[in-house]
Structure 1
């Protein structure tokens, strides 16, 4: 009887210990190490990141058991990288150039930001220099002395604006630089409070579409020699054409440059979880395409084009299998 009682106590103790070990940490991760509640940072609601990111979040939530993803509006690339690097979010949409700067600790990053890897690249993010027909601005040099929106402070757009102006020997001191996002820039262009705006986003961009419906807009081209100078100094840029039918009141083509939009994830997301999430996104790509036209450019064949950082092992496994 004493031996039986002792065994019973031992079994009960072991059971309580295993139960305690099996408890999760407030619902953040499952028993197999998967992160159950995932935050995917996107961008401003007027841009392209937001609808694409929300669609990706919904696809994963609906097709991967035990994982719920929230697509959250944010300040885009720089903010997103800081949050993911700090462990405040698991995934984010960012520019490939900004992801590179962060891991090098250069440009807008005073120190190295790490702890994240690439998942896939999606589409070219076109740097659009938007103005109105009435402004009389036709070239980049015409921006001197003008009120120009250059993106939020510390944003990828701000870096793009600084670099494009730089190859033209123009600095922010030569213009009246206004720091604001796409939505505010569109409103201020319409109201006449600014003369032009740099917008780094997939075309068509919702805020510019809305502006072009009520205002005659123009897109400023960058000359071929300046594009070459830009690519020589910053190899993550590529030449890009904006078609004449991109916006309602815009009826000519524009020549500019683009970087790549990409998805990143924390390094410590389990490989098998990332594999299943990436698989769900590509196998339900129709839902991504319905969210925004740029979703059509997400393909397995181009998913590593412009990848400026190391791939997450889970993404690499899936893409290599395909």
Structure 2
């Protein structure tokens, strides 16, 4: 990605603080008030984060957790590394950059994971009247890569760079999901990237009101993206999830993780991980993507560092062959 484009894509945005739910009010005596950095209100990070905040506040002794709306992964990683938030959601590609000290991150960030969550599907969305049928058709068009400070923007640029498309090849827009949806509907935008769980509300909304097209990637394009960014893989969006998507659509995907500062107390990291996994059915009531959050899947963080407290939990509940 061009350095200037990357810096614009991930410049921290202003952070708005929001309560997750009425259950996450002011902490009582002896309670610590902690925060989880999520995303904007049109994505999945925010409702899942609100649900987790409520679960942790009710079931972890001495913890009063609140959810924060943020610009997304990059902002979340910076806040957790600085101690401004105790917990944060992130995409795998942004976490890899943070740990390596690449791009927006001037040095390696002191982060560790509590576990893997669910896969993010890269939705390249357009309206049929634009005539856009492939990622190469984005040249010369008005395309949103996502808001500054978001993992969405990191993902969009990773995919575009792998496809040989630079910022000079199209008109760059940096819109949040609501702005992107409105732009597609009123014709001021030709296409946009939305990276999120299957059934993203923002994508559903576009499909309901317009003749939406989910732009497919070829097998060769997926292979090229994986060579450039090994954190990605291919995923076929099944028919029926979005209106107008009647055939499987191949697109890139990558996983989301939940992260904390490396120095978090092991006991707290253990309690947060245990409670999240034991109460995951509560999260499934918020979004079906929470069905991916099982102990074997959550433990499988690959080369990312797993916090010692989380490792202790997984060692207790998993057979050696599952670890």
TM-score (norm 2): 0.86
Shift of 1:74: 0.8
Aligned residue for 2:100? 104
Which of 264, 281, 289 is residue 259 of structure 2 equivalent to?
264
Does residue 296 (structure 1) correspond to residue 266 (structure 2)? The answer is no
Give the distance between the partners of 1:84 and 1:256, measured in 2 at CA.
Answer: 30
Aligned residue for 1:167? 162
Does residue 153 (structure 1) correspond to residue 148 (structure 2)? The answer is yes
Are 2:71 and 2:149, in contact at CA under 8 Å, matched by a contact in 1? no
Shift of 1:251: 2.1
Are 1:131 and 1:217, in contact at CA under 8 Å, matched by a contact in 2? yes
Shift of 1:28: 11
Aligned residue for 1:39? 35
Give the distance between the partners of 1:29 and 1:312, measured in 2 at CA.
Answer: 28
Shift of 1:307: 4.1
Q: Mean Cα displacement is larger for which, 165-174 or 186-195?
A: 165-174
Are 2:99 and 2:111, in contact at CA under 8 Å, matched by a contact in 1? no
Give the distance between the partners of 1:309 and 1:129, measured in 2 at CA.
Answer: 27
Secondary structure (helix, strand or coil) at the match of 1:93 reads: strand
Give the distance between the partners of 1:215 and 1:293, measured in 2 at CA.
Answer: 25
Give the distance between the partners of 2:194 and 2:176, measured in 1 at CA.
Answer: 8
Give the distance between the partners of 1:142 and 1:182, measured in 2 at CA.
Answer: 21
Aligned residue for 1:77? 73
Secondary structure (helix, strand or coil) at the match of 2:297 reads: coil
Secondary structure (helix, strand or coil) at the match of 1:130 reads: strand
Matched residue count: 291
Q: How does 1:192-231 map to 2 (within 5 A)?
A: 192-231=187-226
Give the distance between the partners of 2:268 and 2:125, measured in 1 at CA.
Answer: 41
Aligned residue for 1:251? 246
Shift of 1:52: 0.9
Give the distance between the partners of 1:235 and 1:227, measured in 2 at CA.
Answer: 11
Secondary structure (helix, strand or coil) at the match of 2:245 reads: coil
Aligned residue for 1:20? none
Secondary structure (helix, strand or coil) at the match of 1:75 reads: coil
Shift of 1:156: 2.1
Aligned residue for 2:12? none
Which of 84, 89, 97 is residue 85 of structure 2 equivalent to?
89
Give the distance between the partners of 2:72 and 2:269, measured in 1 at CA.
Answer: 22
- Tell me, which stretches of 5 or more residues in structure 1 are unaligned? 1-26
Give the distance between the partners of 2:100 and 2:110, measured in 1 at CA.
Answer: 13
Structure 1 residues 36 and 113, CA gap change in structure 2 (3 angstroms): farther
Give the distance between the partners of 1:58 and 1:291, measured in 2 at CA.
Answer: 12
Aligned residue for 2:268? 273
Give the distance between the partners of 1:304 and 1:178, measured in 2 at CA.
Answer: 37
Aligned residue for 2:312? 317
Deviations 1:274-303 (A, max 9, x none): 111211111111111001111111111111
Deviations 1:168-201 (A, max 9, x none): 2211110111011222111111111100001111
Deviations 1:85-108 (A, max 9, x none): 111110000011111101211133
Aligned residue for 1:12? none
Shift of 1:226: 1.4
- Tell me, which stretches of 5 or more residues in structure 2 are unaligned? 1-26, 318-323
Shift of 1:154: 4.3
Which of 56, 64, 69 is residue 52 of structure 2 equivalent to?
56
Are 1:149 and 1:180, in contact at CA under 8 Å, matched by a contact in 2? yes
TM-score (norm 1): 0.86
Deviations 1:15-48 (A, max 9, x none): xxxxxxxxxxxx8996xxxx82110011111001
Are 1:120 and 1:307, in contact at CA under 8 Å, matched by a contact in 2? no
